């Protein structure tokens, strides 16, 4: 099963997306966007930049947990991973994003939650 991006609307009225692997596990999440068009542009950026290894920033939290950011060509973070138990697990997460993002479908669920 291929990966997919799920776009949704948060309770605060902003939009965000997650990238799910074929097993439905979330492997990348976005920042909040003011509108759904911004979230769609973020998805396009992930699809474009995920193929380039140099766009992944390998980091460690203050608690020593490895994670990564995916950056766009202008240096802005377009996606962030979960915290991992090891650097190897983080690197496997990066490979999953690189494998899943370019061909992932888009499931826009943003209309499912009406604006207040």
Q: Which two tokens stand for residue 16?
A: 């965000």
pTM value is 0.90
Q: Residue ranges per domain, the chain? A: 4-112
- Confidence at residue 1, expressed as pLDDT on a 0 to 100 scale: 59
pLDDT digits (tens, 9 = 90+) for 48-102: 999 999 999 999 999 999 999 999 999 999 999 999 999 999 999 999 999 999 9
Which residues are CB-contacts of 91 (< 8 A; sequence separation ≥ 6)? 58
CATH of domain 4-112: 2.30.29.80
Beta bridge partners of 79: 70
> What would the mean pLDDT of 13-33 be, rounded to a whole number?
95
| CA 27 and chain centroid, separation | 7
């Amino acid at each position: 099963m291929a990966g997919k991006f799920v776009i949704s609307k948060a309770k605060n009225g902003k939009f965000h997306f997650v990238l799910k692997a074929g097993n439905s596990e979330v492997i990348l999440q976005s920042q909040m966007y003011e509108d759904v068009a911004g979230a769609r542009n973020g998805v396009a950026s992930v699809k474009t930049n995920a193929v380039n290894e140099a766009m992944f920033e390998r980091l460690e939290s203050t608690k020593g947990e490895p994670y990564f950011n995916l950056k766009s060509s202008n240096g802005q973070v377009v996606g962030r991973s979960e915290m991992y138990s090891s650097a190897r697990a983080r690197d496997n997460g990066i490979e999953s994003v690189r494998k899943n993002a370019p061909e992932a479908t888009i499931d826009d669920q943003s209309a499912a939650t009406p604006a207040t």
